[in-house]
Structure 1
């Protein structure tokens, strides 16, 4: 099992992360994704995500988590203003944890 961290970021004025964020994302996961658990935390204009993925290697886990996240965003209107960040810290200098 691999732990994969990602971050969603919003632009200035993006609505706060929904209270049911975890449920919104996991509703679009597929059993073949083999995502065992998802932890989420919203903080202003960012949402931290931690995926626990069963995979053969870290690269496979990363690609699976990324694809599942993008799929969930694409099919969830309440997440339309959010995008997957290219970096873990989104360039803001704040600690992930």
Structure 2
């Protein structure tokens, strides 16, 4: 099992983290993603969400790629997360960027 960390960044100054961000993300994860557990933390009024994902994979690289793809999929599909993107440090320069 691998621990993968990402940051979600709000794309505008007035965005605040939804209370149920963990549920919003995991609703779009598939069993094939191998993600066993997710934590999401943000301070009230913060435009950043820290994510920690625990992934079953054959390697750290596979865990990182699969977790990134799962997060991007969730960002694309959950309307409540339309104002959020993976930070550049999370290799988030893909289709989930808004």
TM-score by length of 2: 0.85
1:64 and 2:66 are equivalent in the alignment? yes
Deviation sequence 1:41-78 (CA, Å, 0-9, x none): 02311000000000000000000100000000000111
**Contact in 2 for aligned 1:70/1:84 (Cα 8 Å):** yes
Q: What number of residue pairs does the alignment pair up?
A: 88
Q: How does 1:1-97 map to 2 (within 5 A)?
A: 1-43=1-43, 44-87=46-89
Report the Cα offset of residue 10 of structure 1: 1.1
The 2-side partners of 1:71 and 1:52 are apart by 17
The 2-side partners of 1:30 and 1:40 are apart by 18
TM-score by length of 1: 0.86
The 1-side partners of 2:61 and 2:41 are apart by 24
The 2-side partners of 1:48 and 1:58 are apart by 19
Supply the RMSD in Å over aligned alpha carbons: 1.2
The 1-side partners of 2:35 and 2:14 are apart by 27
Q: Mind listing any 5+ residue stretches in structure 2 that lack a counterpart?
A: 91-98
